[in-house]
Amino acid sequence: MKAIVLAGGKGEGLLPYTDKVQKEAITVLGKAIINYTIDGLKKAGVKEFEIIVNEKGNQIEEEVEKLDVSFETIVQKRQGIDGAVLDGMEKIDDDVFVLAFGDIIVPAEFYKSLMDTYIMTGRQAVIPLVPVSEGTETYGLVKIVDNKLKVVKESSTLALGGAYILPKPKDNFTSLLDYIDLLASEAKLNYFIWSENWVDIGYPEDLLFALETLLRRKESVISDKAEISKDAIIGKGVIVEDNAIIEDYAIIKGPAYIGKNAYVGSFSLVRDYSSIEEGAKIGAYCEIAHSLIEPFAEVGSKSYLTYSIVGKGAKIGASVITASYPAQSLSRPRFNKLGALISPEKVIKHGSVIEAGMKI
C-alpha cells in the first residue's frame, strides 16, 4: 500500500520562521517532523511514499533520505489540501491508499492501529479520531451520530486524526471532507478513537508541546562517544548523543536532549524539556529552559532563554534574555508562558531583551 504524505503548506502559523525552513523539516529530538510520520507508517507496513511538497521540497528530500524508504517528491500544482490530494492521487495506481499529513507527531502505535483496524474490519476506509479541547476551529471536526461519522464545522471535540486509509475515488474528487462524509454515509468507513499522545504542529506552542510529549516518553541514554566533563552533572531523563561536548560544571537537568556534535559550555544549565539539536552551541553561564534550539544555532554566554524556539543557524549574542510571561498564544493555548520564535539564521545582538511572544 502506498502513502501520500502532505508537506506542501506554507506553515503560516509559524511565520516568519517558515519563510526559510519548511515546517515539516523542523527538527525535534534529532528528527525532522515529517520523519515521525514516515517512520510510523513504515513500521505499520507502508513501503512507498509520494510526498507532496512546495518550492522548499529539497529540504524535505534531505530529511527523508535519512530514512530507508522508497519515496518520490511531487511539487504541488493545485491549490489547498484538496489540490495536494489530487496531485498525489495521480501517482496512485492501487485501489486503496494511505493519506497522511506530514506535520503530525504521534507514536508509531497510532499508525499500527490505523492498519490493524483496516485489516480487521474489512471496511474500505478507516479514519482515526482525536479528542481535542483547544483551538477546535483549526481542525477538521466530526460528530458520531448513530455510530456513523458526520463532518461538521463546529460544536464537536473530535478531530480527524491526520492519517487515513481511503479507497481511490472513482468519480470526480473535489473535497477531502466531502469525500469522508460520503464514505461515512455509505457505511464504507470505520473509525477508532486515539486518546494517546498526538500533536498537530501549526504554531510555536505546538513545537514546545511536542518536545514535552516526546521527552516524557524517553529514558536516559548517554552515548559513550559523548565528551562529558567529570565535573558536569547529568540528571534523569537526559539523552546525550554521539560527539556531544558538555563542559565543566554544566548541569543537564532532565527531561532534556543534547544532540550529535552539540556543545554546552561551562556552568550552563539546560533543564525542563529543552532540546539542543545537532551541532548547536550553548556558551558558558547560560540557562535554557523549555526551549528548542535548532541545529547549528549558537547561544552566547550568560544568555537566558525560556519557552523559546531558536532557528537553524541563528546566532544569539551574549547576555540575551527572552521574556515569556504573559503568554502571547496565537490559537491553541498550551502554556501560561511563551517566549520568542527566532527565525533561522537570524542574528540577535548582545544584551537584547526579547518581549514575550515575539516572532523575529
Parallel/antiparallel/unpaired status of strands 281-282 and 233-234:
unpaired
Output the pLDDT for position 330.
53
Residue 316 grid cell: 544569539
Output the pLDDT for position 64.
95
Helix axes 80-89, 176-185, angle to 10 degrees: 70
Rg (CA), the chain: 21
In sequence order, what are the beta bridge partners of 83? Answer: none
Residue 269 grid cell: 544549565
Residue 241 grid cell: 548523543
- Alpha helices, DSSP H only, in the chain? 33-43, 57-64, 80-89, 108-121, 176-185, 204-216
Q: Among positive and negative, which fits the CA dihedral 281, 68, 197, 23?
A: positive
d(CA 341, CA 147) in angstroms, rounded, equals: 43
Contacts of 268 by beta carbon, 8 Å cutoff, 6+ apart: 247, 250, 251, 282, 283, 284, 285, 286, 287, 288
User: In this structure, are residues 345 and 312 in contact, taking their beta carbons and an 8 Å threshold?
Assistant: yes
Output the pLDDT for position 186.
83
Domains of the chain: 3-200 (3.90.550.10), 204-359 (2.160.10.10)
Output the pLDDT for position 332.
62
Q: What is the DSSP string of 211-272?
A: HHHHHHT---EE-TTSEE-TT-EE-SSEEE-TT-EE-TT-EEESSEEE-TT-EE-TT-EEES
Question: Cβ of 165: how many Cβ atoms within 10 Å?
Answer: 24
Each residue of 224-239: pLDDT tens digit?
A: 999 999 999 999 999 9
Kindly state the helix (H) or strand (E) to which residue 50 belongs, with its residue range.
Answer: strand 48-53
d(CA 231, CA 253) in angstroms, rounded, equals: 14
3-state secondary structure of 286: coil
Residue 154 grid cell: 463546529
User: In this structure, are residues 143 and 158 in contact, taking their beta carbons and an 8 Å threshold?
Assistant: yes
Output the pLDDT for position 333.
62
- In the block, cell 516568519 appears at 16
How many residues belong to the chain? 360
User: In this structure, are residues 308 and 291 in contact, taking their beta carbons and an 8 Å threshold?
Assistant: yes
User: Could you tell me the pTM of the whole model?
Assistant: 0.92
pLDDT by residue, tens only, the chain of 360 residues: 899 999 998 889 999 999 999 999 999 999 999 999 999 999 999 999 999 999 888 999 999 999 989 999 999 999 999 999 999 999 888 899 999 999 999 999 999 999 999 998 888 899 999 988 776 667 788 888 877 788 887 778 888 899 999 999 887 788 898 898 888 888 888 999 999 999 999 999 999 999 999 999 888 999 999 999 999 999 999 999 999 999 999 999 989 999 999 999 999 999 999 999 999 999 999 999 999 999 999 999 999 999 999 999 999 999 999 998 876 655 666 777 889 999 999 999 999 999 998 999
